[in-house]
Structure 1
Amino acid sequence: MKCEEEKGAEKRDRVMSLNQIRSLKSVIIAKGAVGVGRRTFAAPAGKAKKGSKGAASDAPKASTLSKEVKSTTVVGANILKDGADPKILLDSEYPDWLWHLLDKHPALSELRRKNIETLPYEDLKRFVKLDNRARIKENNSVKAKN
């Protein structure tokens, strides 16, 4: 009889351990599905996941600024937390150098073709700077080959 009791106890223990393993598996699967214990990062702003129901509401809204505000202020140029966008001024109120920032400057090859003695001061400065940069690159490439 003792053997039958021991067999019954072993069977009961085996069933209990199998039940515990099954419950642990379900917990592990649930944690994996939820992502518990896994480091994740937030989704980038403005990008919705595929199949997301809120994708339509995440789309950028149309600008509600009036044409008058757009034509008198530099929208989006404010970098201060409590500041406001700067107003657009008259052309005469800006410094002269500002209007020459996008002018085309001659390349080094073009400056080498010209007579150095007749170059204006700004072009001469540019020539010296570009020529020094080219010589340094050439020396570095020669040293790298050795």
Structure 2
Amino acid sequence: MGLFKGINFLKNGSDPIAKLEEEYPFWLWELLDEEKQKAQSQDPNSRSYHRRERKKMVKNNNFDRSRKK
């Protein structure tokens, strides 16, 4: 446990106190795992996968429309 100095952004607030690792939710530590995040983004059932695919499709459609003019 310790004090996070300089993290407070409120005018009259105080710096937060760090908790023990066991007191944080398990998924918080998974956010730091880059390999797990990359694998999750490749999962067809994930939201990030569908967002990326939709973005690709829009870019391709825009490119095709620009070529037809």
The normalised TM-score by structure 1 is: 0.37
The higher-RCO structure (CA 8 Å, 6+ apart) is 2
User: Deviations for 1:48-81, whole angstroms, at most 9, x for unmatched residues?
Assistant: xxxxxxxxxxxxxxxxxxxxxxx71111110111
- In the other structure, the counterpart of 1:77 is 7
Q: Which segments of 5 or more consecutive residues in structure 1 lack a partner in the other structure? A: 1-70, 112-122
Counterparts of 2:33 and 2:65 in 1: how far apart (Å)?
36
Counterparts of 1:95 and 1:84 in 2: how far apart (Å)?
23
User: Deviations for 1:82-110, whole angstroms, at most 9, x for unmatched residues?
Assistant: 1111011101111222111133314x8xx
Q: Which segments of 5 or more consecutive residues in structure 2 lack a partner in the other structure? A: none
- In the other structure, the counterpart of 2:66 is 144
Structure 2 counterpart of 1:131, which letter? E
Computing the radius of gyration from Cα coordinates, the structure with the larger value is: 1
- In the other structure, the counterpart of 2:49 is 127
Superposition pairs of residues 54-65 of structure 1, within 5 angstroms: none
Calculate the aligned-residue CA RMSD, in Å.
Answer: 2.1
The one of 86, 89, 104 equivalent to 2:16 is: 86
Counterparts of 1:127 and 1:82 in 2: how far apart (Å)?
41
The normalised TM-score by structure 2 is: 0.69
Structure 2 counterpart of 1:77, which letter? I
Counterparts of 1:140 and 1:74 in 2: how far apart (Å)?
47
Runs (4 or more) in structure 1 with deviation over 2 Å come to 126-129
Question: Hey, which of these two has a bigger chunk of strand by percent?
Answer: 2
